[in-house]
Chains A and B, each alone.
Chain A
């Protein structure tokens, strides 16, 4: 099934009032490039597209809704509409339908409306198979905002398994497992009218307390997660705002260069830490005195010549033998002498361990791991000094910015630092709730409040439920639940494994065809992140183009396999790429997807457009606000475009290639 966006309309919102026509492969224009000056409302448009496709407006708070109001406008309402074209297969007819968000700013309310070819409808106007894909975890796969793309490649922040699980329904199976557990716990803990003996009654009471604890921890966890999500969004917005201030002050190039250096330095420090710990795990690396100790130990063991290898032979031989090796009869007294001597031997097992320790000790005579450690720490110290110097340079630029742009910048920085601290605290709290300990640590399970971990709590509730079911004659529930859970877990594990393997394969096939041998890179595994590498050797990331193409290939592999080909919608598609990567991506983009919608600023045109134009027919869209600051842009419009511009309340739009190419939009449109 192919899903394309044919039109985006906005009115009365924070973004300009616009009506943008978009195209897909069937029209020969698979690439849509929307160019808007910074501050025009690009992010607003993308987040509204996301909101519609993920049907997330239901969870919006009044403050979220008010955020979309056009502050310049006196209107109390607004509308955002997406027209979609769905084609189930080449043989089927196209389905044209729309989804709109109707904003009521007086009541801070928003309503999601559906339209089919006959107009407003109460029913879902698209094929029902699409319903499961209209949710945030799916939409995050094909709408790329900010550094979401790079996050997929990073172990720390990656979330590559979520779209895999969501697109293929594994999340629902996980939910089923949870529902079965909940049902089981309820069944076992239900009191009914029965009377219980004291031990059963105690256990029941204990279980209830732990179930309540579990509920409360789950709520706390969700709250923390939500707060964390909100703060991360706020932080991203602040960073964006700060970036714009740097741009306005003409310091952006310096800051970008500095940030790149800081990023590289952070990676270098992280790699050095890994190398150091790798060496430190060898206890001989700790000091020269350990190396002397080990030499003494080895020499001592050699000198002592502790017998051992034949002890097991004598242990077996002695009780059954009548004759000694010398031919004499083995009397009991002789046997006693043998026995005493044998006891001074080490066992085979001990000798085995000692031999291995001696072998390891040999290595100390050859290399000195402590000097390796010394070199590594010298290198780390150099990197830390560089880090300090880079941070100082950045701080100086921030001070310069404050001098130029006033207190606004300082406030942003202060709030940013506060947010980082708050996020660290939240991360720590989440870490504790997500942590795991053996449940025996909590025995005898008298203090539910001592448990801070959701999964430990769940495990204890299940454990107590099992105990109670055995005690109350409800073991059949426990057995049934175990069998069902086992089947579901196995199904989940196998399905996920199969999907991971098949997606690695299809992503790599795409990568090979897009990149060829020259820039060869592979996805080695799909777990929390997409692990890139070559010949089974992991590498942190590839070049800019390799990263982008790997992520798009992964996204389209999922979409194709799920038979739900959504468009790729990308904010700033090439802003982080060097010229070579821009060229490469431009050449390949039409092969990756049937509809590409890229939101960019004019500085991204360089090189990217040249290579794109060699391989694709492009739908060029330029949007800017209709106000005096943009008079030069306005003057360059055709009469017809000017007419349409005056029809709109606040925006001008041009589909002309030459306009797109030559418009200077470097200054923030604010």
Chain B
């Protein structure tokens, strides 16, 4: 189950108001929070974190094609290993990581529940980072996207 930071609901309300807007579902924003979190290696998990999350959805909505879902799974597998300083050329370790993170059983996320939980932690922290970065809740989509692109994205996925 994808879970989102409870504070996100109010903060992102303006971004989800318009039916013609770029964010079709909350998952679009969750995804950006996740990319921020994993891209900055924000993997701190603190007690009661899960009580500060609310359920979002158990699967990606249709805007996330199978191709995108595989890419997210691959990126997560690789980046999470880097974030945890695991060697990426060790056959045994990679095998273990694949077994613990990837799952064909969940034909939607291609991830194990454990991996989705880890994604939730990244997304939770990613949201907190963005909330602090933006002086106030974004008032519309283009402002959000522009700040995200100019001020957030250049700092993500540095140092592999």
Which of chain A's residues 168-193 have a Cβ closer than 8 Å to chain B? none
Q: Which of A220-228, A246-254, A437-445, A561-569 contacts the other chain? A: A437-445
Q: Tell me if A384 is interfacial: C-beta within 8 Å of chain B.
A: yes
Q: Tell me if A296 is interfacial: C-beta within 8 Å of chain B.
A: yes
User: CB within 8 A of A281: which of B64, B82, B89, B142?
Assistant: B64
Residues of A within 8 A of B49 (CB): none
Residues of A within 8 A of B39 (CB): 286-287
In the bound complex, how far is the Cα of B1 from the Cα of A440, in angstroms?
13
In the bound complex, how far is the Cα of B22 from the Cα of A339, in angstroms?
52
Q: Closest residue of chain B to A374, judged by CB? A: B149
Chain B 120-132 near chain A by CB (<8 Å), digits 1 or 0? 0000000000000
Shortest B11–chain A CB gap in Å is: 11
Q: Which of A276, A283, A301, A381 has the most CB of B within 10 A?
A: A283
Residues of B within 8 A of A349 (CB): 103-105
Q: Closest residue of chain A to B66, judged by CB? A: A356
**4 interchain residue pairs of minimum CB distance:** A349-B104, A277-B22, A357-B74, A273-B22
A156, B95: Cβ atoms closer than 8 Å: no
In the bound complex, how far is the Cα of B115 from the Cα of A392, in angstroms?
50
Q: Tell me if A344 is interfacial: C-beta within 8 Å of chain B.
A: yes
Q: Is the interface of B mostly helix, strand, loop or mixed?
A: helix
Question: What are 27 A-B interface contacts by the 8 Å CB criterion?
Answer: A156-B19, A277-B28, A281-B64, A283-B68, A284-B75, A289-B158, A290-B75, A290-B157, A293-B157, A294-B71, A296-B160, A297-B74, A297-B78, A303-B89, A304-B89, A350-B98, A354-B102, A356-B66, A356-B70, A357-B71, A360-B67, A361-B74, A384-B142, A431-B17, A435-B9, A441-B55, A528-B19
Chain B 39-78 near chain A by CB (<8 Å), digits 1 or 0? 1000000000000001100000001101110111111011
Chain A 258-293 near chain B by CB (<8 Å), digits 1 or 0? 000000000001101110111011111011011011
B68, A282: Cβ atoms closer than 8 Å: yes
Binding site for A on B (CB under 8 A): 9, 13-14, 16-23, 28, 31-32, 35, 39, 54-55, 63-64, 66-68, 70-75, 77-79, 82, 88-89, 91-92, 94-95, 98-99, 102-105, 110, 141-142, 145-146, 149-150, 153-154, 156-158, 160
With A281-B31, A346-B98, A354-B98 as given contacts, are A431 and B13 in contact (CB-CB < 8 Å)? yes
Residues of B within 8 A of A296 (CB): 78, 88, 160
In the bound complex, how far is the Cα of B19 from the Cα of A432, in angstroms?
16
A306, B104: Cβ atoms closer than 8 Å: no
In the bound complex, how far is the Cα of B94 from the Cα of A1, in angstroms?
75
Chain A 555-593 near chain B by CB (<8 Å), digits 1 or 0? 000000000000000000000000000000000000000
B94, A300: Cβ atoms closer than 8 Å: yes
With A269-B142, A380-B142, A431-B13 as given contacts, are A357 and B73 in contact (CB-CB < 8 Å)? yes
Residues of B within 8 A of A304 (CB): 89, 91, 94
A297, B88: Cβ atoms closer than 8 Å: yes
A286, B74: Cβ atoms closer than 8 Å: no
B98, A281: Cβ atoms closer than 8 Å: no
In the bound complex, how far is the Cα of B103 from the Cα of A347, in angstroms?
10
Binding site for B on A (CB under 8 A): 154-156, 269-270, 272-274, 276-278, 280-284, 286-287, 289-290, 292-294, 296-297, 300-301, 303-304, 306, 344, 346-350, 352-354, 356-357, 359-361, 373, 377, 380-381, 384, 424, 427-428, 431-432, 435, 437-438, 440-441, 528
In the bound complex, how far is the Cα of B82 from the Cα of A347, in angstroms?
24
Residues of A within 8 A of B110 (CB): 353, 356
